[in-house]
């Protein structure tokens, strides 16, 4: 799904010089830098806490076009830290990419926002990210980050890794051919128990710190100040006032991605079902088909509670909730058992 905002005001829009005057006064940007921002197209993968914050910052800074990609919808627990969303969005279970598009249109109708309610996977990554000059990570899982890393190295396209969990904000710039890639620093995805929002919580100042740094680094790249971009993996603990940095200025010669150009994540090798951050849930994305919500609602009504809007259908039965999107993708809440999730999908949605 691709929704793009349109101008919402009937009155005259402010001149560029007025709207961005305080930013233009900054010598690092100036009038020429502002023109580059207005012409830029940035993709943000994930519209949760970090993604919503960085999208808001870049839209307010005047980035001309944003592609927002997110597979999830707004819930009440999101409102503690996800700054573009309101209570009405949670009540309506509005997909995050679409909710973010609507909110951005209210404060900068001149930024063109493409809302993609989708899961970024090997089969669609080239299409969804083709127009973007720069890709920003705001995901909740390393499977997608390694996929982004493969794509960026293959396409020689810059991307920025960013995340927050507990009190920590983490971020790293990846400039293919100039800096280390993600696989240079972490050759393999984390294994075993990994801290998530669900297990360790997250502080909204950590989220906003990660997003602010990511937005600043993105603006540097857009205006041509690449020499000012940080060449470290930065981790900052906002609670204990501690930070650490790892040098990322050099590629690792034996790196399988940027050295040997083996793109196993881009090829989809061993890609698992993903348990989402912050919830007891499994995503099912094996069935790509257009869902008739009206027909499905009638079929499910005898078995539980059904609510739907134009973008998704929600079915509650016992301790499980199934949220189905237009393309057949579904979130099964109430279990982390992939087998059970698949069984519930097949039973109520159809295999």
Q: How do residues 208-253 score in pLDDT, each as one tens digit?
A: 999 999 999 999 999 999 999 999 999 999 999 999 999 999 999 9
272 vs 294, more confident:
294
Claim to verify: residue 101 and residue 161 sit in the same structural domain: yes
Give pLDDT tens digits for 274-315. 666 656 888 887 666 788 899 999 989 999 999 998 889 999
Q: Say if CB 228 and CB 33 are below 8 A apart.
A: no
User: What pLDDT shows up at residue 198?
Assistant: 60
Claim to verify: residue 243 and residue 285 sit in the same structural domain: no
Claim to verify: residue 294 and residue 227 sit in the same structural domain: no
Give pLDDT tens digits for 69-81. 998 889 898 898 8
Claim to verify: residue 48 and residue 92 sit in the same structural domain: yes
- Give the three-class secondary structure for 172: strand
Give pLDDT tens digits for 15-53. 888 999 999 999 999 999 999 999 999 999 999 999 999
Domain that holds residue 117: 2-247
Claim to verify: residue 27 and residue 142 sit in the same structural domain: yes
Domain boundary among 228, 247, 266: 247
Residue 299 lies in a domain: yes
> In the chain, how many domains are there?
2
Claim to verify: residue 225 and residue 315 sit in the same structural domain: no
Residue 267 lies in a domain: no
Phi, psi of 335 (to 5 degrees): -160, 155
**∠ CA(103), CA(104), CA(109), 5° rounding?**
120
User: What pLDDT shows up at residue 20?
Assistant: 95
Claim to verify: residue 230 and residue 311 sit in the same structural domain: no
User: What pLDDT shows up at residue 171?
Assistant: 98
Residue 264 lies in a domain: no
* Threshold 0.85, pTM exceeds: no
Residue 276 lies in a domain: no
User: What pLDDT shows up at residue 327?
Assistant: 82
Claim to verify: residue 219 and residue 132 sit in the same structural domain: yes
Residue 253 lies in a domain: no
User: What pLDDT shows up at residue 104?
Assistant: 98
* Nearest of 185, 176, 164 to residue 245 by alpha carbon: 185
Q: Residue 319 is part of a domain; what is its CATH number?
A: 3.30.310
User: What pLDDT shows up at residue 9?
Assistant: 40
Claim to verify: residue 175 and residue 308 sit in the same structural domain: no
* Nearest of 118, 72, 67, 119 to residue 94 by alpha carbon: 72
Residue 262 lies in a domain: no
Claim to verify: residue 189 and residue 96 sit in the same structural domain: yes
Claim to verify: residue 92 and residue 215 sit in the same structural domain: yes
Claim to verify: residue 74 and residue 131 sit in the same structural domain: yes
Residue 20 lies in a domain: yes
Average pLDDT, the chain: 90
- 133's tokens: 């000059």
Domain boundary among 222, 247, 272: 247
Question: What Rg value do the Cα atoms of the chain yield, rounded?
Answer: 20
Residue 269 lies in a domain: no
User: What pLDDT shows up at residue 12?
Assistant: 57
Give pLDDT tens digits for 304-351. 999 998 889 999 988 889 999 888 888 999 988 877 888 788 788 875
User: What angle do helix axes 49-61 and 96-107 make, rounded to 10 degrees?
Assistant: 30
User: What pLDDT shows up at residue 10?
Assistant: 46
Q: Residue 110 is part of a domain; what is its CATH number?
A: 3.40.50.720
């Amino acid at each position: 799904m691709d929704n793009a905002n349109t101008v919402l005001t009937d009155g005259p829009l402010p001149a560029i010089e007025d709207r961005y005057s305080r930013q233009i006064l900054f010598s690092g940007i100036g009038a020429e830098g502002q023109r580059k921002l207005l012409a830029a197209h940035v993709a943000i993968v994930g519209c949760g806490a970090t993604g919503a914050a960085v999208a808001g910052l870049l839209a307010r800074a005047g980035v001309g076009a944003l592609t927002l990609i997110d597979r999830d919808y707004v819930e009440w627990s999101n409102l503690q830290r996800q700054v573009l969303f309101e209570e009405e969005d949670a009540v309506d279970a509005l997909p995050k990419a679409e909710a973010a598009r609507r909110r951005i249109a209210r404060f900068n109708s001149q930024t063109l926002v493409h809302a993609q309610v989708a899961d970024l996977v090997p089969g669609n990554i080239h299409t969804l990210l083709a127009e973007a000059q720069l890709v920003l990570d705001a995901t909740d899982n390393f499977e997608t980050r390694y996929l982004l890393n493969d794509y960026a190295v293959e396409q020689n396209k810059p991307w920025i890794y960013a995340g927050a969990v507990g009190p920590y904000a983490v971020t790293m710039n990846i400039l293919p051919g100039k800096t280390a890639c993600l696989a240079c620093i972490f050759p393999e995805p984390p294994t075993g128990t990994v801290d998530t929002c669900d297990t360790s919580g997250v502080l909204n100042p950590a989220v906003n710190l990660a997003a602010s740094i990511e937005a600043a680094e993105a603006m540097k790249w857009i205006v041509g100040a690449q020499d000012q971009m940080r060449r470290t993996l930065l981790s900052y603990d906002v609670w204990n006032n501690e930070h650490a940095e790892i040098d990322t200025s050099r590629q690792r010669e034996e790196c399988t991605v940027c050295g040997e150009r083996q793109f196993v994540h881009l090829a989809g090798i061993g890609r698992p079902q993903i348990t989402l951050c912050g919830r007891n849930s499994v995503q099912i994305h094996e069935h790509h088909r257009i869902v008739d919500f009206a027909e499905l609602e009638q079929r499910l009504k005898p078995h539980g509670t059904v609510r739907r809007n134009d973008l998704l259908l929600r079915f509650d039965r016992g301790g499980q909730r199934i949220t189905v999107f237009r393309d057949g993708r579904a979130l099964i809440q109430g279990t982390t058992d992939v087998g059970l999730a698949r069984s519930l999908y097949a039973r109520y949605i159809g295999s």
